[in-house]
A and B are shown apart, each in its own frame.
Chain A
């Protein structure tokens, strides 16, 4: 049998989808860091996490990733997209880039994605659920309501999150997320 008739195949890459996932993770990562400084509920959740707690969220097997750590000061800090040299205590990975693209284009909420088995979690489950709640809150601030309702499990009503407070916090989060600190993170990761 001539085995050359059946060549070995090296599958290609989905460059656009990876680039899109990279940008979303960068914005969400910075958004989570900013939400921790602005929103009281996020602060309460972060208070329950152990000091030095580091988690990563990304797309298996080859990224992109976002890495966030709870500093000694008790605040969350976005460390960028490189996982090398960091002790990851909670590793949350979306199982493939197609699933990540579905989640990041808001065709599937994070809760629904968990339900569909799109995530693999390596670490403490209560901490993973806490991180999911933080991500939901960050997405509520970062995204317009019409999109955020698709992305989160339940969008808070006007009593839980009054529009004035929401828009004021949203402005603060955007300013913090895209402050010069962003360039610091990018520079450190390059």
Chain B
């Protein structure tokens, strides 16, 4: 019998459901804080989510130190410095990030600056890890892939920092906040959540806790994805997908980054096309490569996406294949909502550069050749897109 050796950390407290936004003042009080600085994305403020957040503080006795709403798509160090300056001048004692990944990253970076009483992140870029606990940090993900930023990675100025201290203390998924702005945004959120869950399950370092988080995320996505893509503004569907995004990002924070996510991020850097677009196109190819190499897929976990009935109807020896098919089906249904990433049109030198950069990232367990093989597979006519008799599905 195989003995398990694993470590798992899931620091954030997840608040989910009706009135969860109104719980923030109580959570701040439990962390000995009463004056938060809100780091909000421009998009969130434009959609008046900032006002909704302020209304949640009515009758709470808390004062909001300010809403710093300069965050757009890119998290830069200058924004973090400005946020830290505002935090100090206002005498704040907690951070609330409202928005997507960029808002969360600015809040994390500003949190490091104020907690370590410094004006530079250079030591941290050079490998130093935080030496003390950071200020309370609450993350309220909004649409546009926000929930996938609940992990332990800080991505600022195109650099990645990892530490358990970067986990938010509280993640609040609320119906009023988590509605996507468009069908494309909904599809991208679902793709990122699925990717995080999928590669946490496929990761070599098996851990029952990680599997539990990823399995729950896949189940939530499987139950709600089709309805969510048809009606992205339906809160009953959007909220479970946001919750799945949070669970999957916690699972992914405890796993090695998957080949597709890393490649997607590197290609995003090269082409400025969102990573989710590449992930949707590369995942089927990557799964096919895994199956071709006869690596076993944990089909029992992957089939969570298809539901209990599908799981019960599949013979044990076919679980891996059918699990992969169920996942590919979900990715393809989400990919219908986003433009196709024409990988064949991207210059070869950019692809090669992305592969090399992906293979040189920390903690990855694949080489540039593996990444290129996945890209080559994605450029071809996919074997899973044809029936056994050769007709296209």
A-side residues, CB < 8 A to B, are: 1, 3, 6-14, 18, 60-62, 95-99, 102, 116, 118, 120
Q: Which residue of A has the minimal Cβ distance to B86?
A: A3
**Distance A89 CA – B86 CA, assembled complex (angstroms):** 42
Contact A1 B59 (CB under 8 A): no
Q: Which of B15-23, B122-130, B258-266, B328-336 contacts A (4 or more CB under 8 A)?
A: B15-23
A95 x B66 contact (CB < 8 A): no
- A59's nearest neighbour on chain B, judged by CB, is B59
B90 surroundings in chain A (CB, below 8 A) = 3, 8
Q: How far is the CA of A7 from the CA of B68 in the complex (A)?
A: 9
15 residue pairs of the A-B complex, CB under 8 angstroms, read A3-B66, A6-B66, A6-B69, A8-B63, A10-B63, A11-B60, A13-B58, A60-B26, A61-B29, A95-B22, A96-B23, A96-B60, A98-B19, A98-B22, A102-B19
Question: CB < 8 Å: which of A8, A12, A13, A61 contacts B66?
Answer: A8
Contact call B63/A96, Cβ cutoff below 8 A: no
Judge whether B368 is part of the interface by a CB distance below 8 angstroms.
no
Give every chain B residue within 8 A of A118 (Cβ-Cβ).
19
Interface code B62-84, partner A: CB below 8 Å = 1, 0 otherwise? 11111111000000000000100
Q: Which residue of A lies closest to B27 (CB)?
A: A95
**CB neighbors of A among B14-64 (8 A):** 17-19, 22-23, 25-26, 29, 54-64
What is the size category of the interface that chain B forms with chain A?
20 to 34
Could you say which residues of chain B place their CB within 8 Å of the CB of A61? 25, 29, 59-61
A1 touches B85 (CB 8 A): yes
Minimum C-beta distance from B69 to chain A (A): 8
Q: Nearest chain A CB to B164's CB is how many angstroms away?
A: 25
Question: For the complex, is B387 an interface residue (Cβ under 8 Å from A)?
Answer: no
Looking at chain A's contact residues, the main secondary structure is loop
**Residues on the A chain within 8 Å of B55, using CB:** 11
CB contact under 8 A between A62 and B67, given known A1-B85, A99-B19, A116-B17: no
8 A Cβ contacts from B81-98 to A: 82, 85-86, 89-90
Q: Which residue of B lies closest to A1 (CB)?
A: B82
**Besides the contacts A6-B86, A9-B63, A11-B57, what 5 more A-B pairs have beta carbons closer than 8 Å?**
A3-B85, A95-B26, A96-B59, A97-B22, A99-B22
Q: At the interface, is chain B mostly helix, strand, loop or mixed?
A: mixed
Partner of A11, one of B17, B64, B69: B64
Q: How far is the CA of A64 from the CA of B26 in the complex (A)?
A: 16
- The complex places the Cα of A51 from the Cα of B64 at a distance, in Å, of 44
Inter-chain contacts of B17 with A (CB < 8 A): 116
Nearest chain B CB to A177 CB, angstrom units: 27
How far, in whole Å, are A7 and B64 apart by their CA atoms in the complex?
9
From A18, which residue of chain B is reached at the shortest CB distance? B59
- Which one of B19, B55, B85 has the highest number of Cβ atoms from chain A below 10 Å of its Cβ? B19
- CB-based closest 8 A-B pairs: A6-B66, A11-B57, A9-B64, A96-B22, A98-B22, A98-B19, A1-B82, A95-B26
The interface residues of chain A lying within 8 Å CB-to-CB of B69 are: 6
A9/B22 in contact, CB under 8 A: no
Query: Could you say which residues of chain B place their CB within 8 Å of the CB of A12?
Result: 58
**Judging by beta carbons under 8 Å apart, are A9 and B54 in contact?**
yes
- Quick one: which of A9, A10, A95 has the most chain B CB within 10 A? A9
CB distance from B53 to the nearest CB of A (A): 10
Cβ contacts under 8 Å, A60 to chain B: 26
**Bound-state Cα–Cα, A18 to B59, Å:** 9
CB within 8 Å for A1 and B86 given contacts A8-B65, A11-B55: yes
B86 CB → nearest A CB, Å? 5
| B85 and chain A: residue at smallest CB distance | A1
* A28→B89 CA distance, assembly (Å): 46
The interface residues of chain B lying within 8 Å CB-to-CB of A3 are 66, 85-86, 89-90
**When A1-B85, A9-B64, A102-B18 are in contact, do A95 and B59 touch as well, CB less than 8 Å?**
no
Give chain B residues whose Cβ lies under 8 Å from the Cβ of A99: 19, 22
Q: Which residue of A lies closest to B57 (CB)?
A: A11
Query: B85 — which chain A residues lie within 8 A by C-beta?
Result: 1, 3
- Distance (whole angstroms) from the CB of A16 to the closest CB of chain B: 11
Partner of B19, one of A9, A11, A18, A96: A96
The answer to whether A7 and B66 have CB atoms under 8 Å apart is: yes
Contact A11 B22 (CB under 8 A): no
Q: Are B23 and A95 in touch, CB under 8 angstroms?
A: yes
Chain A residue at minimum C-beta to C-beta distance from B30:
A120
